[in-house]
Amino acid sequence: GDSVTQMEGPVTLSEEAFLTINCTYTATGYPSLFWYVQYPGEGLQLLLKATKADDKGSNKGFEATYRKETTSFHLEKGSVQVSDSAVYFCAPGPASNDMRFGAGTRLTVKP
């Protein structure tokens, strides 16, 4: 099935630093790709998505570009805030019983 490999954490940054979290995918074809965020004590929520190759997803200052030549969907933010501290998950579509989320990357932003 489709799966992703995600950069391991934890990642600790100072406020206003640049963030990159790597994600590469293995799939037949070009599935939709997602980044989810999990704030402490909460469930996952969708952060951004890309439905096809060369799409760029963006939300709350985060961006990720679906690059088929490198099979990547890296998450970036130009200037992180303390409120961005969370765990970030990369995930592929489509739905199947062997669909696999990324392992998650814990980000801590210090003031």
Partner 1 sequence: NAGVTQTPKFRILKIGQSMTLQCAQDMNHNYMYWYRQDPGMGLKLIYYSVGAGITDKGEVPNGYNVSRSTTEDFPLRLELAAPSQTSVYFCASSYSQLLNEQFFGPGTRLTVL
Phi, psi of 65 (to 5 degrees): -110, 130
Report the residue from 25, 34, 35, 66 that binds partner 1 according to the rule CB under 8 A.
34
CB 4 within 8 A of CB 100: yes
Does residue 103 come out as left (phi exceeding 0), alpha (psi in the -120 to 50 range) or beta?
Answer: alpha
Compose the 73-92 pattern: x for residues touching partner 1 by CB under 8 A, - for all others. Answer: ----------------x-x-
Report the residue from 12, 20, 45, 83 that binds partner 1 according to the rule CB under 8 A.
45
Binding site for partner 1 (CB under 8 A): 31-32, 34, 36, 42-46, 49, 51, 89, 91, 93-104, 106
